[in-house]
Structure 1
Amino acid sequence: MHSFDVFHHYERKHWRLADVPWDTIRRDLVRPEYVTMAKSAVMGEANSIAAQHGFLNEFDDYDFSAFVAVWGYEELQHHFAFRTWLNAVDAEVRESAVSAMRAPYDPGTTPCATLATNIISELTVNHVYRAVASWVEEPVLAGIMLNASRDEAGHAREFLHFARIRLQRHPEELPSVLETLHVYTGEQRIKHPVGVFKSELVALRDHETIDTAFEMFLEKVADAGELDKLQDNIRRAFSALTGMDVSSNARVRRRLAEALA
């Protein structure tokens, strides 16, 4: 059972909030942009509860469900790590905004599309967290960002594993995978499921969201061509998943047309 191996791997490399040196936070280095980034991260990570709900309802596979339980714990840890840092610098997160994230997602057009969406979200956050960790000068927040980034890379790897198995068993779901890739990489902006499905919630008005972080990332952190690098990385992962050349939007559309023919 793959989740059994994943559990043992995570247990060996897992970091703990208790090991974060909270008493070394450099308040003199905290900038308003860091607070905005951390609040936005809290809102993105708050969706792990809703996502677990959806996964466990949509999939009846025990192995994947066991992985989801491990994944959900790590995502909740990210949420609590960012909130602990914010509390330490006297920044408030609105509880009503966090609570609004509890509503479960609707299932994807196919189970493989759901997995594909999560591959994209993990790769996106991994990329952004890693870059922000290098940009942030406050060392404790930078460390949290780096640890979370590493976790997200591992999560993407496991979602790819389960998507590959699902696609082998259900090749008819290939068009939904290609369609998902096109939806999230077909525009010159960062798209994330939390932003796509929950940005219009009333409780989020006048509050930071995950899209706030992505906009700030592109404006203040990203190098020239950073979005292209992120999208190329996502397409490479989907090329490995599908065995197809999906290295550009045009190629994604062509593969999708062929799969639907």
Structure 2
Amino acid sequence: MKIADRTFLISGGVSGLGLATARALHEQGAYISLLDLNADNGTKIVKDLGPRAKFFETDVTDTQAIAAAVQGTVAWVQETGKALGGVIAGAGVGMPGLIIDKKNQPLSMESIDFVLNINLRGTLDLVRQVVPHMTTSTPTGPDNSRGVIIMIASSAAFDGQMGQVAYAASKGAVASLTLPLARDLSKYGIRAVTIAPSMFDSAMTRMMSDKVREGLEKSMEFPRRAGLPEEFARLVVECVGNEMLNGTVLRLDGAMRMPARL
């Protein structure tokens, strides 16, 4: 599948892994629709990338906000003639919390809902609203491809640490839905792939204390460092271009297996 002259929607697209992905796809000739809450960053990034980029201020927990961004992107596609090529659902948060704290109080539902609504519900809502516009596009290439859905899980989906119940639940769900999503979309020539990164340099990991960061780095085999956003973006580019990547979860983790506690 070719990247050039195709339009890709990226949620969480104006910082961290999402921004690195946007830049990598843009360098390959793609048109980029950036969905994010940070309007200041969005304006700056669009100015930097030029006419092949659009920004839509979007809260992925708000169905109507997603709908407005998708409709805006579809209208842009009709103007440019550059068909939808895929979705990268990159919006995500982490809010650590033990299921029961030192005062014998359970983790609040507000905290659980906050994580699930962005990481899981926001991902599914974005995907389900974009797919109808992809299924009706003209297939391309020898395999009659209409595009790819790329989602982001985490190492925590498989070996989450103490305090990551909500986060692991959200990312584990994303990993689990990858294959059935691919099966649902196979007749339309649309693929589904999930990337499960370990600790990468992002806004979320920069909020960690030095102790936590150093502890996680020690649990990595090689290289013993946080992943670079550009390394994540390289895998996204491969997921777009390689038609045999479908219905699978790709760990990108430096052989990291997180210990129960730091």
Please give the TM-score of this superposition, normalised by the length of structure 2: 0.31
Higher percent of residues as strand: 2
Higher percent of residues as helix: 1
Which structure has more relative contact order (CA 8 Å, sep 6+)? It is 1
